């Protein structure tokens, strides 16, 4: 008793030092410096690049549509690629996402479904497009297939996650009425995830629009091919015109996506009133 009274109380620590996190920050800083030195990233090169960029920008203006036919064909093809890929991808990812949901499906169903989704997500659409160009030849078909794969990976994963977060109590009630499995899905599961699913689908349409302008670079159809050849011919004013058209198309797609969301999701709000 008396000895503890004599000793001064040990100082109390309000904030404990986290040595692990400190070490991680230091390691990160060291790696950044190392990587920059390896890749010869220097300020001089950046300044030099700015001058080239200015020259490039100067040649881009005023934009000039050199080949209107090629531009129009590319744009409509991109649009077609995006819509077909979205429609097909969404359709295929619905059952795959459902099979991948671990709260509703047995392991023998979730495991292969998850494997498919993981595979679809592994590679960037451009790499997939290269593979499909090799398989089915140059053109829109390869682009569509590549973006279908991307759509399955994205929507399938998010859809499965959305299903895994639903309230099983609502499902249980539908099940207790003796409903067959498909009716349990239609009445117990879909109403709970439909709103989010529309969100994923419109986002994917948006993303497919952007990606459809790019798969053309590797020969998989769409405006990307036109853009790439204009670059190679140093027709920078045509490049600029193409880029402006792409911006217009993406913005139109954004508006369309918003409209779709409104049509499908506002309906519920109206019902409440």
Please, which residue, 99 or 154, has the CB nearer to another protein?
Answer: 99
Contact with another protein (CB under 8 A) among 72, 174, 198, 256? 174
CA distance 159 to 101: 8
Q: Between 184 and 215, whose beta carbon lies closer to another protein?
A: 184
CB count, 10 Å around CB of 176?
A: 8
Site map 188..217 versus another protein, x via CB under 8 A? x--xx-xx----------------------
Decide whether 69 or 272 has the Cβ nearer to another protein.
272
Q: Which of 187, 159, 160 is nearest to 173 (CA)?
A: 187
Among 138, 187, 231, 264, binds another protein (CB under 8 A): 187
Phi, psi at residue 18, to the nearest 5°?
Answer: -100, 95
Nearest to 223 by CA among 234, 232, 233, 211: 211
- Rounded CA-CA distance 255/80 in Å is 17
Q: Which two tokens stand for residue 258?
A: 């918003």
* Nearer to another protein among residue 173 and residue 256 (C-beta): 173
- Tell how far CA 6 is from the center of its chain: 66
Residue 87 touches another protein, criterion: CB under 8 A:
no
Quote the tokens at residue 97. Answer: 């996402």
Contacting range for another protein; rule: CB under 8 A; set: 39-47, 59-67, 168-176, 240-248: 168-176
Q: Does 8 bind another protein (CB under 8 A)?
A: no
State yes or no: residue 173 binds another protein (CB under 8 A). Answer: yes
Binding-site member from 37, 42, 177, 258 for another protein (CB under 8 A): 177
Among the listed residues 88, 170, 196, 203, the single contact to another protein using CB under 8 A: 170
151 in Cβ contact with 204 (< 8 Å)? yes
Burial of 98 (0-12, 13-18, 19+ CB in 10 A): buried
Residues making contact with another protein (CB under 8 A) = 167, 169-170, 172-188, 191-192, 194-195, 268, 271-272
């Amino acid at each position: 008793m008396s000895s503890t009274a004599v000793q001064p109380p040990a100082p109390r620590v309000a904030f404990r030092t986290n040595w692990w996190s400190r070490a991680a920050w230091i390691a990160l800083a060291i790696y950044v410096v190392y990587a920059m030195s390896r890749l010869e990233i220097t300020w001089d090169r950046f300044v030099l690049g700015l001058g080239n960029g200015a020259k490039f920008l100067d040649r881009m203006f005023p934009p000039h549509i050199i080949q209107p036919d090629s531009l129009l064909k590319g744009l409509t093809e991109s649009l077609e690629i995006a819509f077909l890929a979205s429609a097909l991808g969404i359709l295929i990812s619905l059952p795959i996402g459902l099979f991948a949901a671990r709260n509703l499906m047995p392991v023998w169903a979730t495991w292969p479904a998850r494997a498919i989704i993981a595979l679809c997500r592994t590679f960037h659409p451009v790499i997939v497009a290269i593979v499909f160009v090799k398989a089915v030849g140059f053109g829109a078909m390869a682009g569509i297939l590549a973006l279908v794969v991307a759509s399955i990976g994205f929507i399938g994963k998010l859809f499965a996650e959305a299903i895994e977060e639903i309230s099983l109590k609502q499902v249980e009630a539908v099940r207790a009425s003796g409903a067959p499995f498909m009716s349990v899905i239609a009445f117990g599961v879909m109403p709970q995830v439909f709103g989010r699913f529309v969100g994923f689908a419109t986002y994917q349409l948006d993303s497919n629009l952007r990606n459809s302008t790019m798969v053309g670079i590797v020969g998989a159809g769409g405006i990307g091919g036109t853009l790439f050849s204009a670059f190679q011919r140093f027709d920078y004013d045509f490049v600029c015109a193409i880029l402006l058209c792409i911006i217009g198309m993406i913005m139109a797609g954004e508006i369309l996506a918003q409209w779709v969301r409104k049509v499908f999701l506002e309906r519920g709000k109206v019902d409440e009133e």
